[in-house]
Amino acid sequence: MTRIVIVSHSHPALRYGGGEVAAYRQFQHLLAQGHDVYFVGSTIGPEDGARFFGPGQRILGFSDRDFCMRGMGMDSFSMEHPRLEDEDWTLDFLTALRGDVYHFHHFWNIGAGTIRRLRGLLPDARMICTLHELTAICANHGQMVKTSGELCHAASDVACAACMNRAPVDFALRRARMSEMLDLFDVLLSPSRFLANRFEAWGVSEGRIAVIENGLDHQAPPALLDNDTLVTRSRRFAFFGQATPTKGLDVLVRAAMLIDKRMGDLSAPIALDVYGVTAEGFAALWPQLKAPDWMRFRGRYRPQDCVSIMQGFGWIIIPSVWWENSPVVIQEARAAGTPMIASDIGGMAEKTADWGIQFRAGDPDALADAMQRVHDRPDILAQHSALIKEPLNLEGFDREWRVACGISA
């Protein structure tokens, strides 16, 4: 039986993000189907290691097939471990699993050097990498957002040097090393055409990246709603995400503040719920912004409850101000049958085409206008809901994954 090792930069039991969730769902599906599969995640850095690990402890086992390594920190520019002993330990652990297939869902916390050496030690193993964002291209957290806050449309040695205050030769060397590392993989995957295009423009050969949307385990989509339910939900909006500057939550609050000033123009009450963020967490980042009373911060939620929560709303808003690749919240909204109002860039534009409403990224006025256009309009809600296509399930993902990667069932 083929032994598959799924490797992620993080573990969703400790931190919940799109890439690690996609990796873990793949692992759970393969395990449930009886495959010989292991999952290896990592803590994000020394601070998480101190929270979850005892002195000298390097591995946390959730089961005999589910592990989290203690991440010791990485050089984010070179994607290398600063200490060789940390790379040695990571390599030894991955090699000891003796995988026939290693599927990496990132290389952060794993290390480019680890991947190079694993390739050399296991030349017959099949090595796969899913590109969840742009780290290989962009040294500024892989987001292709300039340090000035502007969106970056293309990387170059000179432009990157000016952005990050380093010599152009540093970026020429980084590009060469990242390209060399990607060449070690037998297969490269991308969950969006947008991301694949960016890598091809950067220098990856056209056709080298297979585009497969991440799988989502979900129930059958809900039936068409009656008019009373449509009316109620057309007045309810929600945000699901984290309180990080790139998620655009400040843009959403500014839009809500604009709507609040126009309350006399609204035909019915309006509600906006924020999931994943507390009022205190938001205030810590944007103390100068005061959300209207009808905007409620709901705090953390269980990921497995997300789709059912979304079904109580008319519109899910994703106002991110960076490109995003394939946000899991978009798949979850599709599974809930709830249309979206999304920023008009990157994977958000691609993934909400035809069934969502898009607004100019980073523009609170444009977002406020979009929300007001659909508020208390059950006819528009019904129209967009009917256009939603069910997301790819895990069985469908596994089928496409095996074809793209040349792995037998």
The predicted-structure confidence for 240-256, as pLDDT tens digits, reads as follows 988 888 899 999 999 99
CA angle 244, 249, 252 (to 5 degrees): 170
The predicted-structure confidence for 13-58, as pLDDT tens digits, reads as follows 887 778 888 999 999 999 999 999 999 999 886 777 788 888 889 9
User: Which pLDDT score is estimated for 346?
Assistant: 95
List, in order, residues 6 or more apart from 145 with CB less than 8 Å away. Answer: 151, 152, 246, 321, 322
Which of 204-218, 235-249, 260-274 is the least confident region? Answer: 260-274
Q: CA-CA distance, 57 to 271, in Å (whole number)?
A: 47
Are the beta carbons of 81 and 74 closer than 8 angstroms?
yes
Q: Give SS3 for 30.
A: helix
- Does this chain's domain 3-215+393-405 share its CATH topology with 227-386? yes
The predicted-structure confidence for 310-353, as pLDDT tens digits, reads as follows 999 999 999 999 999 999 899 999 999 999 999 999 999 999 99
Extents of the domains making up the chain: 3-215+393-405, 227-386
CA angle 129, 53, 302 (to 5 degrees): 65
What's the topology of domain 3-215+393-405?
Answer: Rossmann fold (3.40.50)
- Percent share of the chain, pLDDT over 90: 78
Which of 42-46, 218-222, 287-291 is the least confident region? Answer: 218-222
User: Which pLDDT score is estimated for 221?
Assistant: 66
List, in order, residues 6 or more apart from 298 with CB less than 8 Å away. Answer: 273, 274, 275, 276
pTM: 0.92
**Quick one: tokens of 290?**
């005061």
CATH pick for 227-386 out of 3.40.50.2000, 3.30.2130.10, 1.10.357.10, 3.40.50.620: 3.40.50.2000
Pairing of strands 101-104, 66-69: unpaired
Quick one: average pLDDT of 284-291? 92
